[in-house]
Amino acid sequence: MLSIAYYGKKFTNRFQWFSRNGELLKKLPGWVLILVGIMLLFGIDKLIIKWLFPYFPTTVYGFNQKRVCRA
């Protein structure tokens, strides 16, 4: 933990953008979680899976597109 704190401080001192935008970097994960929660609530995640399904190999796990994507 001490090394993370030490090298994190060196990193932020080296790249001034991180130290100037510290508040944004603290709030960003929260906004991402809120966005994912809304997507789960309205079923948008299933639409994204259905849209991305043809681009991934299906023979590895034996998934059937009709069975997986019922959205």
The DSSP result for 11-61, as a single string, is HHHHSHHHHHTHHHHHHHHHHHHHHHHHHHHHTHHHHHHHHHGGGS-STTT
Please state which of the ranges 18-22, 30-34, 45-49 shows the lowest mean pLDDT: 18-22
* 46 pLDDT higher than 80: yes
- Domain with 36, as residue range(s), is 2-68
* 64 pLDDT higher than 60: no
Which stretch, 17-21, 36-40, 44-48, 67-71, has highest mean pLDDT?
36-40
* 41 pLDDT higher than 90: yes
**Total structural domains within the chain:** 1
Rounded Cα distance, 11 and 39, in Å: 34
